[in-house]
Structure formats: C-alpha cells, structure tokens
Amino acid sequence: MDLLLFLPYQIRFNDNGADSGYLESMIETYGNQISLPNQVYEKRGYFFAGWKVDPDSDDVIYADGEAILFEQEGLDLYAEWIPIIYQIEYI
C-alpha cells in the first residue's frame, strides 16, 4: 500500500503583498477532497483574482473557496492581485 495515501501534508497560503489578513496553513491527507478557505486578505487598489502555485506567474489555478482533490506532497499557494482600474469620463 502506498504511504502517500495516509500522510498529512501542509497547504500554505502566501498573501503575496497584501496589506492585511491572515490564513492559517492547512494540514490535509493526500488524496482527500478538500475545500480551500475563503481568502481574508486585502490589498488597497487591488482585487483578489485567485490562487496560483508559482509566485512569478500570472496563472490562477484555484478560485477562492474552490473544492479540490489534494494530490500533492505539500502545496504553497500565492494570492494573485489584479489592479482595480477606474475610468474617469469628463462631460
């Protein structure tokens, strides 16, 4: 029997420059269906786009609160922030 199926692994959340908020790491068993927590971070002038697995990438892999099948030997997630852009029209 594969030991991976019974070992607990950590899921870590990186705010990636947020101004406030904190998420505890999760300990989960390999192969379990889990739900990611809703993020509580805030970053002034940005909105949260989701979670990515590479801090240098723009590719969002997981949505806020998404249910996933946990099949990694540990997982580091990084918040992806998109600037809020306002358009001002003068009449």
72-88, pLDDT tens digit by residue? 889 999 999 999 998 89
- Strands 75-83 and 8-14 turn out to be parallel
Q: What is the predicted pLDDT for the residue at 72?
A: 85
The distance in angstroms from the start CA to the end CA of the chain is: 71
pTM equals 0.85
pLDDT of 47 strictly over 60? yes
Position 63 confidence tier, pLDDT thresholds 50, 70, 90: very high
The DSSP symbol for 48 reads E
- The arithmetic mean of pLDDT across residues 24-31, rounded, is 92
- The arithmetic mean of pLDDT across residues 25-33, rounded, is 91
pLDDT of 22 strictly over 70? yes
